[in-house]
Structure 1
Amino acid sequence: MRAGVLSGRTVVLEPLRVEHAEEMAVVLADAELYRFTGGEPPSADELRARYAAQVRGRSGEQWWLNWVIRAQGAAAAGYVQATVEGGIAELAWVVGVAHQGRGLARESVGLVAAWLRGLGVVRLIAHVHPDHAASAAVARGVGMVPTSVVEDGERLWEGLPPAP
């Protein structure tokens, strides 16, 4: 299982490469992105090290699929990732502050979710901070619903992948 290029109406998702580190360090530099998740903006060097591990694509039975989000023909705007194991995909996404409010996360996550269904994924999950309305809207937009489970301060959302 390898992440390929996925194209939508307004976004193109490029499979993650180590070379994306410089560009993504700029996208992820705004401290506001970490209000709900904690942490600090990563440096380009930290991202290079992280991406070098992620682009391996798997660990044991777990697949790591990562894409850089681009608005059609534009600079990087964020990322989407899916960790897939046993027919279940855990999704995560971040869109840079300068690119928020344009539907890029919703379209990107929808593309990935539909693509995963075509590969046999039968369940989607995501962890969303209860106060993060925008991420909750993205999860809801791909058919996930909140559960009663809260782990590390984030609510578990789950659902079926949409048809491709």
Structure 2
Amino acid sequence: MRPDTTVTLHGDRLDLVPVGPEHAEEMAAALADPALHVFTGGEPATADALRTRYARLAAGSPDPAEAWGNWALRLRADGRLTGYVQATIGPDATEIAWVLGTPWQGCGLATEAARTLLAHLTATGTTTVLAHIHPDHHASAAIARALGLTPTEVWQDGELRWRLECPPTG
């Protein structure tokens, strides 16, 4: 069974809501710090660029063998968007990623969001989870470790592949 990418997921402090063009303005502000791009390259996206990107993501993958899940992180305490998690769900593995705006870093929200996503994925049949992390991005490596992922020896675009094998459900 393929995970449902259109449902809202709930963590302890966060709601993970399927991202759409209506989130662009607030997400552009949440992700405006250029420091978020130190390890991934690029620069903060404008609200217009995010609106276009989110519309494309909401339309889904053009590859029928792959599904995209993209969730904005809404902090329940104040209703603000703080970042996102994403999953690229393929036939053999699911790749996950997380980004949290600078003002909300350091208090476990990225780990909570990634853990909430992972629980949803594994509950719906995902057995192999991958993440690609820059070798100097210690905070992301700590999140991967907290989720149970371990580093492999595979490199892709300057990032190390981390992997988790989950027992099949059912």
Aligned mates of 2:168, 2:97 — CA distance in 1 = 19
Match of 1:6 in 2: 9
Candidates 34, 40, 45, aligned match of 2:43: 40
Structure 1 residue 160: deviation in Å? 2.6
- Name stretches of at least 5 consecutive residues in structure 2 with no aligned partner: none
Aligned mates of 2:92, 2:25 — CA distance in 1 = 33
Matches within 5 A, 1:2-81: 2-59=5-62, 60-73=64-77, 74-81=79-86
Contact 1:143/1:159 (8 A) holds in 2: yes
Contact 2:19/2:72 (8 A) holds in 1: yes
Contact 1:2/1:57 (8 A) holds in 2: no
Match of 2:127 in 1: 122
- Name stretches of at least 5 consecutive residues in structure 1 with no aligned partner: none
2:132 match: secondary structure: strand
Aligned mates of 1:161, 1:102 — CA distance in 2 = 26
TM-score, normalised to structure 2, is: 0.91
Aligned mates of 2:168, 2:112 — CA distance in 1 = 14
Q: Please, which moves more after superposition, 145-154 or 56-65?
A: 56-65
Structural RMSD (CA) = 1.6
Structure 1 residue 5: deviation in Å? 0.8
Match of 2:139 in 1: 134
Contact 1:127/1:157 (8 A) holds in 2: yes
Contact 1:84/1:90 (8 A) holds in 2: yes
1:44-67 alpha-carbon deviations (Å, 9 max, x no partner):
010011101100133221100010
Aligned mates of 1:31, 1:102 — CA distance in 2 = 20
TM-score, normalised to structure 1, is: 0.95
Residue 137 (structure 2) pairs with residue 98 (structure 1): no
Which letter maps to 1:22? E
- Structure 1 segments, 4+ long, off by >2 Å, are 160-164
1:14 match: secondary structure: strand
Which letter maps to 1:123? T
Report how many aligned residue pairs link the two structures.
164
Aligned mates of 1:21, 1:139 — CA distance in 2 = 27
